[in-house]
A = this chain, B = another copy of it.
Amino acid sequence: MKKQVQHTIKDIAATLGLSISTVSRALNDHPHISQSTKQRVREAVEKLDYRHNALAASLRNSRSNMIGLIAPRITMYFQSTVITAIQHKLHEYGYNLMVCQSNDSPAIEKELVGVMYASRVDGLIVSSTLYTEDFSHFDIFNRANIPLVFYDRVPHNYPAHKIQGDDYQGGYQTTRHLLEQGARKIAYITGPLSCKLYRDRYEGYQEALREFDMTPDESLMFCHELNKKNAQLTCKALFAEGGLPDAVFAGNDTTAVAVVQCAKAKGISVPQQLKVTGYSNDSRTEIIEPPITSVEQFPYEVGVQAATLMLELLEQKTNHSQNHISLITPIELVIRRSSRL
């Protein structure tokens, strides 16, 4: 078992009788190095199978070409699509992306922020947990003047760059649509209101009701993490009581799907007796029977925007903490049979 040496520029310098500075410059295509030397270096690199050590370079340059990303979970369609877009865009510009999941735990999120900082990422892109209300663990990035961009799950009162879908419009248009279809008893299933996007949506919902001279019915409001299990519990409560609602505004598609299935199981016809809408327009909405009305958020575009903003911030070496950019990306209500008579 031969001890495998990791060759360094020092070895290249030695074999060629050059100094390491010359080799370094040759590798970086520095103009002061002659073509012939560059060629010799290239050959030696090939021969010795030399590999650049990014750690050493990053340390010296205080620049890692690495962008960190913290998402609650990558298994969600919206999230993985945004991340893919970000990765593609950043890759174009020579940056690498380091993806981590907070698992919707503020404690893990906090830890990951530390890890990212320790790795000296050049920028950080975040979609926070559902429960993050104190954003002070992000302070280090602001203090060190390292670009920090939030998307989707953005903070409310924290100074940072933000990209979010138009959740107010999402809530408004969806509700308005349900009202126009004749619904008057709308059950509202939302994620935790500690999360700004759910608050925004709720405001849109309220505004639409107001236009119909209505107010939210507290007894029809359900607030919990939007997974299948919770959705089923809510359905149970919802369909057990005497007065059935005539519509359900579900905070995501997983919930909407569960509602539709539960309704079918109970013999409640959708959309005749119950109208249902989801959110995110994931691939399940169009294959279920009936297909579910949902809000398209254009995740790929959100990702491109986030990456573009990050790249701009990386470019301008000035102090970014001055005027924070806050972008609202458009959404589109995709109306399907689950809500249309």
A229 to B: closest C-beta gap in Å: 14
A49 to B56, CA, bound (A): 24
Residues 48-85 of A at the B interface (beta carbon under 8 Å): 49, 51-56, 58-59, 62, 64, 66, 73-75, 77, 80-81, 83-84
A6 to B59, CA, bound (A): 13
A12 to B: closest C-beta gap in Å: 16
Closest to A258 in B: B287
Residues of B within 8 A of A36 (CB): none
Residues of B within 8 A of A103 (CB): 88
Q: Could you tell me how many residues of chain A have their Cβ less than 8 Å away from some Cβ of chain B?
A: 52
Most chain-B Cβ atoms within 10 A of its Cβ — which of A53, A55, A77? A55
Copy total for this chain? 2
A334 in the interface (beta carbon within 8 A): no
A45 to B62, CA, bound (A): 21
Closest to A69 in B: B99
Residues of B within 8 A of A4 (CB): 143-145
A321 to B74, CA, bound (A): 32
Return the contact of A73 from the options B49, B51, B54, B84 (Cβ within 8 A): B84
Closest to A257 in B: B287
Return the contact of A54 from the options B99, B100, B101, B118 (Cβ within 8 A): B118
Contacts A74-B84, A118-B51 hold; do A100 and B100 have CB atoms under 8 A apart?
no
Nearest 9 A/B pairs, CB to CB: A54-B118, A99-B99, A289-B289, A75-B80, A98-B98, A55-B59, A287-B288, A74-B80, A52-B118
A140 in the interface (beta carbon within 8 A): yes
CB pair B87–A81 under 8 Å, yes or no, is no
Residues of B within 8 A of A96 (CB): 98, 100, 115, 119
A144 to B144, CA, bound (A): 36
CB pair B55–A64 under 8 Å, yes or no, is yes
